[in-house]
Structure formats: structure tokens, C-alpha cells
Structure 1
Amino acid sequence: MSRTFSPSRPTRPPRTFPAKTAFPGLALVFAAFFFAAGAPTPLLSLRQQEWGFSAGTLSLAFAIYAIGLLAALLVGGSLSDHLGRRPVMLIALYTELIAMIAFMVASTITWVIIARALQGIATGIATGAFNAAIAEQAPSHLKKLAGGLAGASVAGGLGIGALVTGAAVQFTADANLLIFAILTGVMILGIVFVSFTSETAVKRPGAVRSLTPRLSIPGKIRREFAAGLPLHIAGWMFPAFFLGLSPVLLRLHFALDGGLVAGFTAFLGPFSAAVATFAFGRHPARHSSLAGVSFILLGILAVLFGINATWLPAVWIGAVLGGIGFGGSFGGQIRLIAPHIQPHQRAGVFASIYAAAYLAFSLPVIIAGQLAPVWGLVPTLLAYGVTLSAFAAVGIVIQAVLLKSESTPKPALARSTVTANSRPD
């Protein structure tokens, strides 16, 4: 009896989420990284009271995250341009998962600092890959929204993470265990989700060579990138103030120890930034950049007034104003640069942008933490605010000059002049 062989069936490609699901889903997973980054703000203040470490150690524990993130950006920021988006996103998620577990079991500030550094490395690996993947998964009619959604994920995640954790500190017996157990579960879900998203990048050779630390800024965007640096410095120094320094300010200057007030104060700016990102997205990018950096200046002036007058509502008003400005200015700069980036350059360029951003997010806070015991808390914070104001003022001038030059009518073509002059009398 002969056996009949049927032709072999082609192997089915693995099932993946459609773009309309992958696009918002990846933005939510990316936001989870920054929710986790904002979560330690109220917890670090609580740990300082329990474990008795110095203000300098507190600022280091906050800023080591940004240092790890910056290192990962410089080394692996363009890795997904070579290996693909999905493998790099998964590496980031597994590293973040280890960091969440380390936070959950940490018993000393040393372990918290190690967990915070791991968290920064994970977020640095994620930044270029997720920004590029979100832009590439966006449906064609939502391409303009993609950059804003990625920016809103960063700001909104930081703010909501601080607020939720602050509430947990206020109302639960073990906020650290609760928050990081939940985040551990979130990262596992993120791993599952990303595993079923389609690959959007064409793999290219040179992955090992791409690990050499360098910035990737194509010639077409170098002028715009340089013009945006004062804006990025002022913009990212602003949320760093609230996430890294405001818990100490509240406790020592305003005599407020509650986790909820610390979380709420840290929440206002980033959340306002996330909302503003979408509101400003309806307006031209240059106008958004100029208006945004102007709001940042108004915000820090209100904060400085509140500190000097010991009036907390002014600090909160300043947080909202500066947050609005951060959302408008950062989103505007992304929209000015994004159209000029080739697909294979996306991860590297986003890594360069965030490298500048996170230097501004980390170094001033570390310096302030070291100076506070010498100068005093309030003088140090006032100096921080004045420095931020100076960068914002420079950013306003640069963006105003660029806006004016772009609005000036172009001179008539020489050919038109020749034609007019050649008419018979």
C-alpha cells in the first residue's frame, strides 16, 4: 500500500499585533519605564529618614539613574538600527525586570543605588529602540502624533509614578514592596507584549562597531540640534528639580513629611508636560519651542518666589507652568528634527537628543546635592533656579531669532528680476 505525500505547507509567520494595537501598546510599555523612574522619588525621601544617609547620597541615588541611562545611550543607543527594534526592546525589559526585583528586596542604600543604576541602563537601552519603534508602528495618519506620544510617555510616566508611589507611602504599610511588586508584573507583561510585535527595522551589519560610544547627529539637523541645546538643558533641569530635590525642600524648608505631598509636588510638572505635548502638537513646531521655553522661564521664576516666600502654592503653580513649557519645548524640538532623519538614523539621533537631555537631568542635581551641606539648602536651590533661568533666557532668544528668520519673506528670484528688467519701455 503506497503512502501519499502531500506537498509541505509553508511555515506560517508568527502572529503579531497589528500596528493599530502595537502603536499605543508600545507607548504604554515605554511609559512604564518612566513610571518606574518616577516611583523612587517619594521612596528615597522615606528611606533617607529611615536609614539616615546624607543629602549628597540622596542626590546620587536619584542621579545615578540618569548617569546609567546616559552611558547606555552612548554605547547602545543605535544598536536597534543593527539588531532590530524588538530584540533591543526585550533586552531593555529584562534588565528593567532585574532592577525592579532589586528595588523590591533592597535593604541598604547601596542596593538602592545599584538598582537605580540598572534601571537607568535599562531605560537608556530602551529609549532609542522604543522611540524608533513607536514612530514606525504608527499608522500613516498618526505619524505626526508618534513623536508627541513618545514624549508624553516619558513625562506622564515620571509624574504618575511619583504620585502613585507618594500615595502608597502615605496610605500603605510597605509602599516599596507594593510598588515594585506591581512593576515587576508590569515588566513581565511588557516582555510578553513586545514579543508579539512585528519587527519594523531592517537589520544591518556593524552591531559591534555601533557599541563604540559616539553621538549620531546627521549634518541636516546639526544646526537645529545646537540651537535646541539651551532649551533642552533648561527643560530637563526643571523636572529634575522636582523629582530629585523637592522632597528635601518639602521636608526641611516647608516642614512637610507626607509621602502624598511629595508625590503630588513631583507629579504636577511631568503630568502638565504630558498634557501640553498634545496641546502644543496642534501648533507649528517653532512656535511650540518658543512658547514652551518661555513657560519654563515663568515656571522657575514662580518656584523661586515660592521658595523665597516659603509659600508652597507658588511652587505648585511654577511646577505646572514649567511642566507646560517642558512639554511644548521638547515636543517642538522633536518635531523640528524628526522629518529630517532617515529610518536607519532614528535610534542614533534619539539617543543623541536624550544624551543631552539626561546630562541636564543628572549633573546639576548631583552638584546641588554636594553643595547643599556647604551653602545651605535654600541658597543652593536658588542658585540652581538662576542657572536654569539663564539657559531658558538664551533658549528664548535663539528660538525667537530662528522664528523671525523663518517668517521673513524670501527675496524674489533673480530670474524674476531679470524678466522684469527686460521688458520694453
Structure 2
Amino acid sequence: MIVTQTSAPVRAWLGAGAALAAVGWGANQFAPLIVLYSTHLGLSPAALDAMFGLYAVGLVPALLAGGRLSDRIGRRRVVLPALLASLVATCLLMAGGRHPELLFTGRFLAGVASGLAFGTGAAWLKELSAESGDASAGPRRSTIAMTTGFAGGPLVAGLCAQWLPSPTVTAYVGHLVVLTIATAAVWRTPDPARTGAKPVAAAPGARGLRRHFLLVVLPFAPWVFGTAAIGLAYLPALVVDRVGGQALMFSAFVTGVPAIAGIAAQPLARAFLRRPRGVRLLPASMALVLLGIGCAAWAAHARSPLMVVLASLVLGVTYGVTQFAGLAEVQHIADPRSLGTATATYQVVSYLGFALPFLLALAENHLHRSPSSLLLAVLGLAAVATAWLAAVTAQQRRQAR
């Protein structure tokens, strides 16, 4: 088997990391502005839900197409158009304050940009880290880069919207600055997928990879963003009526908390990776999923803003560790020649978790159950997934002996 290679400087990964952070910023900067659009523009909850749905409509096919395309033509040739799409999306969102219909197009295009960048960028970081002599750092750096954008976008957008004039415009200015820096960095970043060649150890065949995705990745991946989404979108809505006139700032703060906690959790993720045999990584990180959802159920029962913040911290740590674990697992077993495709496919499955707040709200309305009881039901599902992963990985260890 052949995988391409070039000699990359130790810090060459920063360019790809800046691109991931910039696109992640653009993906999440919209979240704290929901209150603003609802009150100042009179947009209905259905319209705002449609905007979120359009983001996913753009994201999923772009993830699959971007990862596969980057395996063929190189990472930079996909990431640069992603940055351009993110720029156009932000410009449309800035114009959406006067022409609300442009918000729909902007959110769709932000999804396309995220899809093109996330799988490709994570694969690029893995290759650049390997080229500079630290292959295991790729998943950690990808998690930090994306999460930095996820944290910075809503925090800066929310603060600007709260304190600066013309909030529907100034909230997005920070993203334009970040995009400019990232684009300049990407131009100078080497692309190992386009140069050189080096033999590598054989990876599992396509059939074995598909089986591993079905048995291991599919039960695990949705919990990555599922836990994050509980902290980002579900818990804050339960207490927004208890923060008075600071709803916008509270929303911005709570949206950023899980992302910041996810970055701070990376030393814990590295500790998990050092455990004997990597197949134990996913069940170990699922223990944090159980803890995070349990804290969310407790916060939902208390209906306290402080408890929501604390639960979001735990959920953020959970997101940081599980995102690292999932990327490490997939990039370890993937054929290097299809690294972008495998990484993007994993991320498509992980993004299914963002549907969890919507499903919880739907169940609350139709089943007339309390948020805390519904979260306890989710905790039960997570426990089943944890037991399944423990059983499958134990069988894998026995077969490997």
C-alpha cells in the first residue's frame, strides 16, 4: 500500500488548524443570535428551526463529497473553497438583518463550508502531524482547532451583538478577521496528499472497515455531538426566562462553555489514549457520556442557570474526549489513501447527535414528560450503547490474541 508523504515543518499543522477553527467559528456564530432574530426581526420558531435544518442539508453531502474529493486532488484544493464559502455565508448573514430571507441561504452555505472543511481538514491535520513526527497528535489537534472555532464564534458574536451598534452586522465582523488570517495560513501550508510516496502498513480492507463502522463507530459517534448539543441547545432554553434582560449574554456564554471545556479536556483525552490497547478508548470515553447526561438531567430538574452552566462544563469535557476518541479510532483503522473519506463519514454519523435537542423537545410536547425524565431515558440509551461497545471491543481483544 502507498501513501503520499512530504517533509513538513513541525508547526505546519497550524495552517490546517486555522482553517478548521475559522470554519467552525462561522458554523457556530449564529447560535447566540437566535434571541436577537426572534425579538428584533420577529422571526418565528419555525423559521429559526428551518435555518438550522438548512445548515444540516448543506453539511452532510458536502462532508461526504469533500472528504472523497480531497483524497483525489489534495486537501488544500478543498479547504480553500471551503474558506471562500464560509466568507460568502457570513456576508449573507450580515445582510440578513435587512433582508431576513438571506439568512436561510447564509445558513445553508455555512453548512456547505463546514462539510468541505471538517473531514478534509481533520485528515490534513493527521497527515501533517505524521509528517512532522507526531502522528498521534492529529486527532487532538483537530479537536482543539474545531472546538476553538466553536467556542470563539458564539462568544464573540454574542458579546458584539449585546454591546455594539447594528448587532446583526457587527456580530459577524470577528469572523471576517479570522477568515483572513486562516486563508493566508492555508496558502503556505504543505499538502502531503499531493507529493511524495512512502509504503505504510496495510489497513483493514473495505469490508472490514464497513463492519467496524457498523459495530463500533455507529453506536458511538452520535454521542459526540449529542452530548454537546444538550449543553448548547437544550439546557439553556430551560432557564432563559430566569436570566432577565441578559438572555443574549447568557446564551453566548453557555454556548461557549462546552467548547472551552472540550479544549481543556485534551490532556484527559491523551491519558485515555495511553491506556493499553486502543480498542478500550471508546468504552472508556462513554463513561463520560453517562456522567454528562446524568448531570444534564440533574440541571434540568433544578432549572437553575448555575446548574446549567456546571452541567455544560461536564458535557463539554465529554465532547472533547469523545471527539478525540472517535477521530483517533477512525484514523487508526482507515486506509491512508481514503483517509479523507473515512474521516468525513465518521463526522456525518457524529453530527446525527445534533438532532437530540429537537427529538427531546418533540418528545416533551407529545409525551408530556419533564425534561429531566426524558434525559434519564437518554441516559438509559447511552448505557445500552456503552455495554454494547464494551462487549464488542472485548470480543475484538480476544480475537486479536
Task: Give TM-score, length-normalised by structure 1.
Answer: 0.80
Q: CA deviation at 1:98?
A: 0.5
Residue 232, structure 1, aligned to residue 224, structure 2? no
Q: What is aligned with 2:317?
A: 324
Q: Say whether 1:30 aligns with 2:20.
A: yes
> Cα–Cα, structure 1 residues 286 and 181, in superposed 2: closer, same or farther, change >3 Å?
same
Counterpart mapping for 1:9-408 below 5 A: 19-106=9-96, 107-138=98-129, 139-202=131-194, 218-226=206-214, 227-252=216-241, 257-283=246-272, 284=275, 285-361=278-354, 363-367=355-359, 374-375=365-366, 379=369, 381-382=371-372, 385-386=375-376, 388-405=378-395
For the pair shown, which has the larger CA radius of gyration, 1 or 2? Answer: 1
Amino acid corresponding to residue 52 of structure 1 in structure 2: G
Query: How many angstroms does 1:320 deviate by?
Result: 1.7
Change (3 A) 1:408 1:82: closer
Question: Relative to structure 2, which stretch is displaced further, 386-395 or 303-312?
Answer: 386-395
How far does residue 146 in structure 1 lie from its aligned partner after superposition?
Answer: 0.8
Structure 2 distance, partners of 1:218, 1:410, is: 19
State the SS of the aligned residue for 1:173. Answer: coil
Question: Residues 100-155 of structure 1, C-alpha deviation per residue, up to 9 Å, x if partnerless?
Answer: 11111112443212111100101101122211211111244321011111122222
The verdict on how the C-alpha distance between 1:24 and 1:319 changes in structure 2, with shifts beyond 3 A counting, is same
**C-alpha distance in 2 between matches for 1:399 and 1:43:** 38
Alignment root-mean-square deviation, CA = 3.0
Distance apart, 1:334 and its partner CA: 2.1
The CA deviation at 1:287 is 4.2
1:230 and 1:392 in contact (8 A); partners too: no
Contact 1:77 1:128 (C-alpha < 8 Å) held by counterparts:
yes
- TM superposition shift of 1:410: 7.5
Query: In the TM superposition, what is the alpha-carbon distance from 1:80 to its structure 2 partner?
Result: 0.8
Name the aligned partner's letter for residue 270 of structure 2: G
Distance 1:379 1:45 in 2: 25
Structure 2: runs of 5 or more not aligned = 1-5, 196-204
Specify every segment of 5 or more residues in structure 1 that has no aligned partner in the other structure, as ranges. Answer: 1-15, 204-216, 412-425
Give the distance between the partners of 2:210 and 2:313, measured in 1 at CA: 31
| Residue 93 of structure 1, CA deviation | 1.0
Identical columns (%): 22
Paired amino acid for 1:187 = L
The number of residues matched between the two structures is 381
3-state DSSP of counterpart to 1:142: coil
Tell me how far apart the structure 2 counterparts of residues 240 and 383 of structure 1 sit (CA, whole Å): 17
Distance 1:247 1:305, change over 3 A: closer
CA distance in 1, matches of 2:187, 2:373: 47
Structure 1 stretch 340-349 or stretch 167-176: which is displaced more? 167-176
SS at match of 2:193: coil
> Using the alignment, how far apart are the partners of 2:108 and 2:57 within structure 1?
8
Q: Is the 8 A contact 1:64 1:117 kept in 2?
A: yes
Give the TM-score taking structure 2 as reference length: 0.84
Deviation of the 1:255 alpha carbon = 5.2
- How far is 1:30 from its partner? 0.8
Query: How far apart, CA to CA, are the structure 2 residues paired with 1:164 and 1:85?
Result: 29
Q: CA deviation at 1:279?
A: 2.3
In structure 2, relative to structure 1, the CA distance for the partners of 1:327 and 1:71 (3 Å cut) is same
Amino acid across the alignment from 2:60: L
User: Which one is further off, 158-167 or 284-293?
Assistant: 284-293
Change (3 A) 1:198 1:396: same
